Structure 1
Amino acid sequence: MYHTWMRYFTPSPVHHRLGLVCLGVGLQHGALPTVGPRTLDHHVAVLISGGGGWYRGTDGRRLTVTAPAVLWLTPGVPHHYAPDPATGWDESFVDFAGPATATYTELGYIEPDRPVVPLSDAAPARAAVGRIARAARRGNPLLEVETGAAVHELLVALRRARAGVGPDGDPVLQALARDAFTPLSVAEHAARHGMTPAELRTAVRRGAGCSPKDYLLRIRLGRAKELLAATDLPVAAVARRVGYDDPAYFSRLFTRRVGAAPIRFREQQGRSVPGGWSNRIPDPEHPPTITARPT
């Protein structure tokens, strides 16, 4: 016995220009029928949150699927899968498409080379699928935009829940972020973590979708922007604080990457903040608010 609920959508060409659209959503459980062999022209994330089964791809190997896990079905790639007929599984799926899928693949959020990816926790991804299912009510005027936005959330939730990644993220990326403002080469960063430069590049590419150099640069420039906007520090002092001993090199790098020179960025974004900005991240459930004075 099994239970199936699904909805399919047809976003307009205008919605496709948003970059990512949801084409369908389904919630199923039990000893579901075998899927395939088949080939699709779009992406599907199949979230397995309970039970187990198998998956067979283009190489013919039969891979064991144990919840929690995600099956990545990618365009043009034949696939074949099913739950264990004795136990079944709990499945939710989301069909999606759009030009943003290429970028998500490049960044490592979608993994065509790993069709079966173990997860540490399926709950956040299930919550994103639930938002799509709720938006799928008949007559919802925001259907296409609401479901498309939830697909972005789903991809982030699946990336964060990838097995081997802790709640605070990849330990290699955490360590790099901690040391980002130290003037070290990539080889020196790798040695600090007991890795070769090639191993560090592979780990960062897998975790952040970019090279170690680019990952460090993003962190450094983000901090430089904060210092330029919220302090009166000279550009040379800002450069030193984010790991660059040569202020001229920092200025050229900043200008090339940001599109404006440090001084110009400060003119546009500068805010007088006596004492500096707070380092405390606001609680999303209780953000800072203006409390009305009693009359």
Structure 2
Amino acid sequence: MRYNDFGVDFKYLLVSDKDRKFGLTINTVGFQPIALNTVYPSTDHPESYYFNPDKGRVLSEYQFVYISKGKGSFISENTKKINVTKGQIIILFPGQWHSYSPKKETGWNEYYIGFEGRIIDEIAANGFISPVNQVLNVGVNEELVNLFST
């Protein structure tokens, strides 16, 4: 399997009122390889996305963060600090405090997508994703990586 190990690639998209009428909009998508002993996160993110892992943050959107390589940890207002490893997706919910970061000894590769809208609100309201189960084991999957990369 080949995974992007080379460079940071992220985009923050402008969303219009017309786009929001569709019911689901993508706000950001990206990839970050975090080498071992590297400061995390990169300071290249806009202020509304950047965070200090010791303090955490609250987003106004959902995000899926897929870890394809390495190890780290995740904590939220609903989840005690847990270990995260390759092949897992962290689900972030709007309005919910959270923090996550790679272990300095291993680093990690993270792919992420941020989105919002009535469609994902309905998916969450119907229990298909839940703030009580925010880390899912989906396995290391090149097809999933390709979805984040296209």
Bigger RCO (CA 8 Å, 6+ sep): 2
1:24 paired to 2:62: no
Residue number in structure 2 paired with 1:205:
none
Q: Offset at 1:125?
A: 2.2
Shift of 1:55: 0.6
Give SS of 2:8's match.
strand
Cα distance in 1 between the residues matched to 2:13 and 2:128:
23
SS at match of 1:23: strand
1:118 paired with 2:122, answer no
State the alpha-carbon separation in 2 of the partners of residues 105 and 90 from structure 1.
Answer: 26
Superposed structure 1 runs of 4+ greater than 4 Å apart: none
Give the Å deviation of 1:106. Answer: 3.6
TM-fit CA distance, 1:38: 0.4
Give 1:27 deviation, angstroms: 0.7
Partner of 2:9: 5
CA distance in 1 between counterparts of 2:127 and 2:12 reads 27
Which structure's residues are more often helix, by fraction?
Answer: 1
- In the alignment, is the contact (CA less than 8 A) between 1:3 and 1:30 conserved in 2? no
Q: Give per-residue Cα distances to partners, 1:60-101, cap 9 Å, x unaligned.
A: 721000110001110111011101111111111101011111
CA contact (8 A) 1:22 1:97 kept: yes
**2-structure distance, mates of 1:8, 1:104:** 23
Aligned residue number for residue 65 of structure 2: 46
- 1:90 equivalent in alignment to 2:109: yes
Taking a change above 3 Å as real, the CA distance of residues 111 and 121 of structure 1, as seen in their structure-2 partners, is farther
Supply the AA of the counterpart residue of 2:69. Answer: G
- Percentage of matched positions with identical amino acids: 25
Question: 2:146 matched to 1:127?
Answer: yes
The gaps in structure 2 that reach 5 residues or longer are: 1-5, 42-50
Q: Deviations over 1:251-288 (max 9, x none)?
A: xxxxxxxxxxxxxxxxxxxxxxxxxxxxxxxxxxxxxx
- Is the 1:69–1:122 Cα contact (8 Å) retained in structure 2? no
- For residue 54 of structure 1, report the CA deviation from its aligned partner: 0.4
| Bigger Cα displacement from structure 2, 54-63 vs 16-25 | 54-63
Q: Residue 110 of structure 1: SS of its match in structure 2?
A: coil
Counterpart-to-counterpart distance in 1, 2:63 and 2:30: 11
- Stretches of structure 1 lacking an aligned partner (at least 5 in a row): 132-295
TM, length-normalised to structure 2: 0.78
Matched, 1:76 2:95: yes
**Structure-2 separation of matches of 1:79 and 1:4:** 22
TM-superposition CA deviations, 1:127-182 (whole Å, max 9, x none)? 22122xxxxxxxxxxxxxxxxxxxxxxxxxxxxxxxxxxxxxxxxxxxxxxxxxxx
Any idea what SS the aligned residue of 1:101 has? helix
Question: Residue 44 of structure 1: SS of its match in structure 2?
Answer: strand
Q: 1:174-229: per-residue Cα shift (whole Å, max 9, x none)? A: xxxxxxxxxxxxxxxxxxxxxxxxxxxxxxxxxxxxxxxxxxxxxxxxxxxxxxxx
Of structures 1 and 2, the larger Rg is shown by 1
- CA RMSD in angstroms comes to 2.0
How far did residue 108 of structure 1 move? 4.2
Q: Which has the higher strand share?
A: 2
Amino acid at match of 2:32: Q
Deviation at 1:121, TM superposition (A): 3.8
TM-score by length of 1: 0.41
Number of residue pairs aligned between Structure 1 and Structure 2: 130
